[in-house]
């Protein structure tokens, strides 16, 4: 059984620390190497490996320091710009982390090289970087709206009890937007209240789970009448075209 702990970094990043009994440790997307070193030192751990989802500096900026100090295995997308990666992986590959098998999923859109890591057993886990957020999704910097929609639908097809480990504490802002899209949603009101309470207590709102995302995240709900009709009314898009609905939702959020 993997233990997963957030390491806060910068203003709103989470670097995920993975541990298993009688094993070392791995981290996911270490943008801040010093924060990782501090967390490992506090726990008396060494770093065996790193998973990388994409090339943005708030996800890879700490690699050089961690390589120098620990010489870990580094697994990541087949992008030569991330020079520290020792094992480059693509869609469908499988990697072993602390005795658990993770499947690599290509999820381009936020960036073209973006990948996610999914572990089915014993509890489904998803490390999705900046593709799917709690209550939202990443901006489309390098891909297209159809590409991002396809990537999100791929994640949406995973088991409903999948724990979703995204890389940022954006949840309250995302849910404020979600409430603008679906103002009459009871499940969304409940989620907003729960997220506010967590933040008031200084606790992270992530991980989420996929069932909750499917019920409240507008970027996974383009086929739902409430979202489709809201965007058709607001932007005149075809309510029966989920890609168009998604693209309009993302454009609305970009300027929200």
To the query of whether residue 59 is one of the catalytic residues in this protein, the response is yes
To the query of whether residue 110 is one of the catalytic residues in this protein, the response is yes
To the query of whether residue 168 is one of the catalytic residues in this protein, the response is yes
Q: Which of 29, 32, 55, 59 is catalytic?
A: 59
To the query of whether residue 130 is one of the catalytic residues in this protein, the response is yes
Q: Which of 29, 32, 55, 58 is catalytic?
A: 58
Residue 156 backbone phi and psi in degrees, to 5:
-65, -20
To the query of whether residue 229 is one of the catalytic residues in this protein, the response is no
Q: How far apart are CA 155 and CA 166, in angstroms?
A: 12
Burial class (CB in 10 A: 0-12, 13-18, 19+), 256: exposed
Q: In what order do the strands lie in the sheet with 87-89?
A: 3-9, 13-19, 25-28, 47-51, 73-77, 87-89
Q: Which of 54, 55, 113, 114 is catalytic?
A: 54
Largest CA distance in the chain: 57
DSSP class of residue 176 equals H
Distances (CA, A) of 135 to 59, 80, 86, 203: 20, 32, 33, 17
Q: Which of 29, 32, 55, 56 is catalytic?
A: 56
Q: How far apart are CA 244 and CA 188, in angstroms?
A: 23
Q: Which of 29, 32, 55, 110 is catalytic?
A: 110
Q: Which of 168, 229, 233, 240 is catalytic?
A: 168
Q: Which of 130, 238, 240, 241 is catalytic?
A: 130
Q: How far apart are CA 111 and CA 148, in angstroms?
A: 9
Q: Which residues are catalytic?
A: 54, 56, 58-59, 110, 130, 168
């Amino acid at each position: 059984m993997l233990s997963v702990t957030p390491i806060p970094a910068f203003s709103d990043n989470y670097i995920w620390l993975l541990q298993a009994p009688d094993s070392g440790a791995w981290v996911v997307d270490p943008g801040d190497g010093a924060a990782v070193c501090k967390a490992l030192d506090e726990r008396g751990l060494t770093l065996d490996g790193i998973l990388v989802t994409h090339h943005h500096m708030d996800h890879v900026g700490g690699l050089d320091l961690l390589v120098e100090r620990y010489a870990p295995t580094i697994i990541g997308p087949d992008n030569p710009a991330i020079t520290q990666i020792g094992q480059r992986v693509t869609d469908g590959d499988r990697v072993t982390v602390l005795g658990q098998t993770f499947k690599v999923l290509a999820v381009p859109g936020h960036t073209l090289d973006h990948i996610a890591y999914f572990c089915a057993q014993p509890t489904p886990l998803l490390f999705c970087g900046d593709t799917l957020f709690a209550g939202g999704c990443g901006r489309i910097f390098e891909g297209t709206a159809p590409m991002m929609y396809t990537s999100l639908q791929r994640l949406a097809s995973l088991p409903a009890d999948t724990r979703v480990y995204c890389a940022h504490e954006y949840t309250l802002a995302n849910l404020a937007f979600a409430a603008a899209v679906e103002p009459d949603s009871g499940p969304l009101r409940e989620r907003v209240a729960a997220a506010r309470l967590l933040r008031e207590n200084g606790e992270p709102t992530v991980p989420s789970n996929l069932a909750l995302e499917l019920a409240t995240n507008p970027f996974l709900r383009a086929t739902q009448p409430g979202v489709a009709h809201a965007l058709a009314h607001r932007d005149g898009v075809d309510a029966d075209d989920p890609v168009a609905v998604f693209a309009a939702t993302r454009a609305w959020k970009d300027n929200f």
